[in-house]
């Protein structure tokens, strides 16, 4: 990762940067000035939501991103 070299700056998702920040390997520059949120959308083939592995994956995403808004799009 070029950011860890100390010669580069860049954007990292907070959940990815946090372990490096906690160990003092990187530091946040202007969190409020430069930070931004990116919406996450999940799409899947019709009928796949009933599969246990897909359901588990969706639950993990919901837990990490703290949202449970589920919408089924009409064809």
Residues 26-74: tens digit of each pLDDT: 998 888 888 888 787 888 898 898 899 999 998 898 888 777 666 666 6
Residues 63-75: tens digit of each pLDDT: 887 776 666 666 5
Per-residue confidence (pLDDT) for residue 56, from 0 to 100: 94
Q: Measure the CA–CA gap between 23 and 27, rounded to whole angstroms.
A: 10
pTM of structure:
0.53
Write the DSSP symbol of residue 50. G
Q: Which residues contact 22 (CB under 8 A, 6 or more apart)?
A: none
Nearest-Å Rg of the Cα atoms of the chain is 17
């Amino acid at each position: 990762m070029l950011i860890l070299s100390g010669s580069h700056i860049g954007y990292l998702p907070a959940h990815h940067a946090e372990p490096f920040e906690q160990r003092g390997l990187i530091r946040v520059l202007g969190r409020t000035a430069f930070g931004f949120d990116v919406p996450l959308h999940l799409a899947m083939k019709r009928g796949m939501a009933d599969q246990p592995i897909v359901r588990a994956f969706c639950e993990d995403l919901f837990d990490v991103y703290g949202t449970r808004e589920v919408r089924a799009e009409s064809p």
